[in-house]
Amino acid sequence: MSRQYRVAVVGATGAVGHEMRSILAERGFPVSELLPLASRRSAGIELEFGKECVECRELTPDSFAGVDIALFSAGASISREYAPIARDAGCVVVDNSSAWRVEPNVPLIVPEVNPHDADTHQGIIANPNCSTIQMVVALKPLHDAARIRRVVVSTYQAVSGTGAKAVTELIRQSDEILEGTPPLIEIYPHQIAFNCLPQIDAFLDDGSTKEEYKMVEETKKIMGDDSIAVTATCVRVPVYNGHSESVNLEFERDLSPERARDLLSAARGIVVSDDPDSLIYPMPIVASGTDPVYVGRIRRDSTVAHGLNLWIVADNLRKGAALNAVQIAELLVERDLVSVPG
């Protein structure tokens, strides 16, 4: 009988925690026991796991005794406090927050791109930012073929990336505006319904946002190539779920749109949806609730010597967060890495 694992989900009651529980069950991860962990106010709640219900427990420093893998989805401050505790208890942590992503000794993993980086983990593995994940899945086969010199990305990010309360705010504001009532603004700095906000996270001294900084730094780390120039503009849009990206690429060598389609079609985790004559291209309403990264609108950029434009869409709660975390856990099992180096 193959080994099974005690798995904790930290932040189990949140949107990403819900998806983690669902995906673990869907993919048949070898779970001997699931331990949903959350704040004290959620302790005792019954949560679905496959066909069963499991009781949510309060997250405490003693929660990780005997746990093999912990999937964290509770925010950076919780991860900073509890991930080292879990690691020291002998548990391998896969953290979905921004807390550990730029730490030099913490692998930042997208299994389709850099699975080998997991071999050097020291008990904590970082799950990248949602927008970065879907982009690098598409970049990897193209970079291997023609080497990317520069990436210009503009994102169109759904409100589910902020959490369930943001989805509720979009629905409520839409109703208020249609009824002729001034919209109540609580989650975002401005109205999100029927609007676009060119700000995700706080602004930095150079005028970029933290979200844009994440895309720049994380792309280089995951791709293992600091020479790639990356610039990003991240925008929140009034879409419930599914992030979209307009990506402009400049390569060292020529790469035709036809060759790019072939490479992407053969790559794991990608669906090419690219038939403009039939009005077929990736859209959030198609990607939502599914696992692949969808790529379309593949065409030349004639303003540079070796340029292509892509349109990339994925479910930000699944591939952009929970699915990628579970895939990292699967990678740990496959490569016999479910242990913390002593």
Catalytic residues: 130, 243
Strand, helix or coil for residue 105: coil
Paired tokens of 257:
């749109």
Give the position of tokens 């038939």: 275
Strands (E), 73-111: 92-95
Dist. CA 92–CA 280, nearest whole Å: 42
Dist. CA 308–CA 298, nearest whole Å: 7
For 62, residues 6+ apart whose C-beta sits below 8 A from its C-beta are none
Give which of 198, 147, 129, 156 is closest to 311, Cα–Cα.
156
- The partner residues of 57 in beta bridges, in order of sequence, read 37
Dist. CA 317–CA 310, nearest whole Å: 21
